Amino acid sequence: MSDFGTGLRISASGLSAQRLRQNTISSNIANINTTRTPEGGPYRRKDVVFEAMPDARNFGELVTMPPNDNFQRVQVTDVHVDEKGVDMRHEPDHPDANEEGYVAYPKINLMEEMANMIQATRGYEANVSAIQASKDMALSALEIGR
């Protein structure tokens, strides 16, 4: 049996995960031409890794209710740094050009990043809709009690 809070916790975990994914994609897009980072070399594309986790509960629920593995929330477990090669472009006048005149740029595909952003936005919107539906059901239940 589930309660109102379980659905909200699960949807909230989805909101949080998709927000982090959107931030990571935004960082990739913003750094598409970054040739120098504090770590050295060009910016490296990043991607978040999601994992399904049993729904976390507060201490009171853990003591009074048996665990229910049927309800899974999403959690970001890692931010993967892409180790693909770099995109070498011949720009001999660039300050980061090597001896041969080539500059290392991040290997980021703008179209792929935009498609990922649309997918993350749709996931975020789906979780907002689920929270709104839960809220509407709770309000309807309160109306029945009048």
What whole-number distance in Å separates Cα of residue 82 and Cα of residue 144? 53
> Which pLDDT score is estimated for 71?
79
Domain spans, the chain = 4-144
pLDDT, tens digit, 9 for 90 and up, residues 85-123? 899 999 999 999 999 999 999 999 999 999 999 999 999
* CA atoms within 13 Å, Cβ hemisphere of 60: 0
In this prediction, residues 38-65 reach a mean pLDDT of 79
Return the higher-pLDDT residue of 9 and 46.
Answer: 46
Return the higher-pLDDT residue of 44 and 4.
Answer: 44
Q: What percent of the chain has pLDDT over 90?
A: 64
Q: What is the pTM of this model?
A: 0.82
> Which pLDDT score is estimated for 60?
62
pLDDT, tens digit, 9 for 90 and up, residues 65-79? 665 667 788 889 999
Contact partners, residue 51, CB within 8 Å, separation at least 6: 74, 75, 76, 77
Whose CA is closest to 127, among 1, 17, 4?
A: 17
Whose CA is closest to 86, among 25, 48, 44, 114?
A: 44
Q: Mean pLDDT check: name the lowest of 2-11, 27-36, 110-119.
A: 2-11
Residue 102 φ/ψ, nearest 5 degrees? -100, 140
What whole-number distance in Å separates Cα of residue 75 and Cα of residue 51? 5
In this prediction, residues 9-22 reach a mean pLDDT of 94
